[in-house]
Amino acid sequence: MRAGIVAISTEPHGRVIGLRSCAIVYFLSSWFATAAVASPPTTTATDADEKSLQAEVDECRRLTRLGLDDRVYLRRMAPTRLADWRSAAERGSAAALWLMAGCYGATNVIGQDAPLSLSYLRLAANKGYGPAMHVIGLVCDRVENDPERAATWFRAAANQGCTEGLYDLGHFYQDGRGVERDPAKGAALWREAADAGDEQAICALAWAYREGKGLNVDDAEAVRLYHRAASLGQVHAIEELARRYLEGNGVATDEAVACQWVQRAAQGLQLDGMYAIPPGDAPELQVRKLTAAVHASSRNFASVGAWYNAYGSERDFVDARKWFTLAADKGSEWAMDQLGSMHHTGRGGSTDHAAAVKLFRAAADRGHAEAMHHLARMYLHGFGVPADLVEAAKWYRKSAEAGDEFGMAEWAACLFHGKGVARDTEAAVAWYEKSASAGDIRAMRDLASIYHAGEVVPRNDAKAAPLYLRAGQRGHPAAMLPLATMYCNGRGFARDFTWARFWLMRAKGAHVAVPAELEQAMTRKMRTRWQRAAPTVAPAFGALAALVGLIRLGNIRHRLDAEAAARIGSATSPAPAL
């Protein structure tokens, strides 16, 4: 009766931490404040009827323990069984009272009626019905914020043979909520429930072995228990196994097996629409979709959107927008930023700069550093808002102060060039240093240029060289020509013509315009001794010396080009020695 109207936790062992969204909340206090108990009816249901009703309750509870939605069962059965349930409830059947409480407590079954749902639940609990006691415990904990009373109800439910009471009481001992914290006792309660066949307790016990919560860490036992729970259809266990088979964590990597588990869970969850998990999806995408379906959180929605955004075709970018929208609506700043970028570029739909600005601002106001520099860029270029250098500089500064390396580099550029803020080269160099240390290649290149030029700070090729090198190795085209000249001239590096040719060829490959005088200067520096000797010997021998020199130079350049090309083609080219 719980899974249809709860929020699923993202805890790895699949604990359900939400509560019914019906208006029981508003009537609970008055219930506990009154001692009046309705008199039981004089007539009773037959044993056969009671067994049938209990089987229906057990099916709802089983779906809940599997992490599925019990409303599916109630919606399917209510049209034909509601009259029987109501009649049996009027005769005093505790199972029927529980079913009626579920029908009126959930939305989209027969219409929510919180007071009536509460009345049915109270009557069932007063009859000592364990499942009803368990639900009351949940209400005490999550609505009344009274964990001590909740623990009492969970214990009472467990004493009536309700394994869900053992399961939640185990969580209380693990967390020290309502009872003195005792992880070992919590694990023992989970084991008792697991031995009785409670699927969610088996999954929780696996988590305890995995994390060492009240038990010695034993990943092999955790995997065995996850398999046991998954074989019973517990979707949290299936999700864990699918991820393990995908990553090779504790089991041999097997994408096919991972997908088989995902498809089994998808059948149980009865997913459709954008939540459907087609077997043809990539294994990683299938697992991400399953996690999003099991834990409907902004983070997991964003994870699916990120897959479509990073790995998809144009059709997939449309899906990426859908998933990012779900995540953004749940408050994910990262998804807001990603969705804003898609609106800005038109990826997966139409271009809407105003919508992009709105999303960037929403994420930036929540402290998302990358969204701050995206918002600054919108102000810088006048996308969706009037161009405003002062506002752009303000958001770049906020991004930098929030730790975004790109924002640091842009804020340093604002300070260095006086864009939207008073020029301050000393502060600019300091921010460039921070950004470069954080890994921003533009900052590495700009800072290297500052040290190499020696205009606002003393020239320092020893500092410029490694910065140019890091930027060049990470593919920044503007760092490649300076590297070629520094290797050729022996500035900041030991002179090395092979590396000079290497960076020259890299620059050409990146479509950087290479000045002819640079190649000529490099050729002059590589002159052979025969060419240098030619002007000093007799004319008859001078021409011969020059010819030999040209041949030798051609051979040298051919060798250098071959070595440079080999280095370019190697994915593991050694870094030049400084």
Residues 373-418: tens digit of each pLDDT: 999 999 999 999 999 999 999 999 999 999 999 999 999 999 999 9
Q: Of residues 397 and 19, which shows the higher confidence score? A: 397
Determine, yes or no, domain membership for 508: yes
Determine, yes or no, domain membership for 287: no
pLDDT of residue 377: 96
Range of the domain at 63: 3-179
If you average pLDDT over every residue of the chain, what do you get? 83
Q: Which two tokens mark 62?
A: 């089983």
Residue 121's pLDDT band, with cuts at 50, 70 and 90, is confident
Residue 550's pLDDT band, with cuts at 50, 70 and 90, is very low
Determine, yes or no, domain membership for 553: yes
Phi-psi region of 207 (alpha: psi -120 to 50; beta: other; left: phi over 0): alpha
Contact 190, 161 (CB under 8 A): no
The span from the CA of 467 to the CA of 576, in Å, is 13
Per the structure, the count of domains in the chain is 2
Contact 71, 108 (CB under 8 A): yes
CA distances from 47 to 100, 344, 354 (A): 19, 66, 67
Residue 527's pLDDT band, with cuts at 50, 70 and 90, is low
Q: Which two tokens mark 344?
A: 């800005």
Candidate from 2-11, 308-317, 501-510 with smallest mean pLDDT = 2-11
Determine, yes or no, domain membership for 423: no
Q: Which two tokens mark 547?
A: 């010819």
Of 146, 161, 179, the residue at which a domain comes to its end is 179
Q: Of residues 48 and 564, which shows the higher confidence score? A: 48
Residue 571 has pLDDT above 60, yes or no: no
Residue 260 has pLDDT above 50, yes or no: yes
Phi-psi region of 506 (alpha: psi -120 to 50; beta: other; left: phi over 0): alpha
pLDDT of residue 48: 75
Residue 576's pLDDT band, with cuts at 50, 70 and 90, is very low
pLDDT of residue 339: 96
Residue 23 has pLDDT above 60, yes or no: no
Determine, yes or no, domain membership for 9: yes
Determine, yes or no, domain membership for 150: yes
The winner for highest mean pLDDT among 21-35, 389-403, 461-475 is 389-403
Of 147, 179, 211, the residue at which a domain comes to its end is 179
Q: Which two tokens mark 549?
A: 């020199």
pLDDT of residue 558: 60
Determine, yes or no, domain membership for 120: yes
Residue labelled with tokens 């979709």: 289
The span from the CA of 471 to the CA of 477, in Å, is 8
Average pLDDT, integer, range 2-9: 32
Torsion of CA 376, 377, 383, 389, to 10 degrees: 60
Average pLDDT, integer, range 269-290: 90
Determine, yes or no, domain membership for 55: yes
pLDDT of residue 29: 36
Of 126, 151, 179, the residue at which a domain comes to its end is 179
List the beta strands (DSSP E) in 331-414.
none
Other CB atoms within 10 A of residue 151 CB: 21
Spatial neighbors of 11 by CB under 8 A, at least 6 apart, are: 17, 207
The span from the CA of 185 to the CA of 173, in Å, is 7
Please name every residue paired with 577 in a beta bridge, in sequence order, or none if there are none.
Answer: none
The span from the CA of 312 to the CA of 338, in Å, is 15
Backbone angles phi, psi at 441, to 5 degrees: -75, -30
Q: Is 8 strand, coil or helix? A: strand
Backbone angles phi, psi at 16, to 5 degrees: -90, 120
The span from the CA of 301 to the CA of 299, in Å, is 6
Average pLDDT, integer, range 246-268: 93
Q: Of residues 552 and 176, which shows the higher confidence score? A: 176
